[in-house]
Amino acid sequence: MPKDNEHIKQRIAETLEMPKDVVMDFPKATIIGNIQVNIENHNGIIEYSDKTIRINTSIGVFKIEGNKMSIKYITLEEVVIVGIIYKVEILD
């Protein structure tokens, strides 16, 4: 049944020409150079240090690695990470 719901949401997004990240609750990541990562539609912080930050989302865990990293701000919808970013990956 969950697959059917995802398919219906995707069809609605396409029909109404709405962004899929909004309709399907997908995360949206914006990377600004190697100094900032913004992640919208997150489900909370799993791990936080100045070298590794892991963020839970509906499609998996975003793992950000770098140096001197910190959370600039966090809201229910968005988290902004700053520092020297080396790597961003999505883990299942």
| pLDDT, tens only, 4-47 | 777 776 776 677 666 666 556 789 999 999 999 999 999 999 99
CATH number of this structure's domain 26-91: 2.60.40.2000
Task: Retrieve residue 80's tokens.
Answer: 């902004």
| pLDDT, tens only, 33-90 | 999 999 999 999 999 999 999 999 999 999 999 999 999 999 999 999 999 999 999 9
Q: Measured at the alpha carbon of residue 43, what is the angle toward residues 41 and 49, in degrees to the nearest 5?
A: 110
Q: What is the pLDDT of residue 92?
A: 86
Domain ranges of the chain: 26-91
d(CA 45, CA 27): 14
Contacts of 79 (CB under 8 A, 6+ apart): 38, 39, 42, 45, 55, 71, 73
Q: What is the pLDDT of residue 48?
A: 98
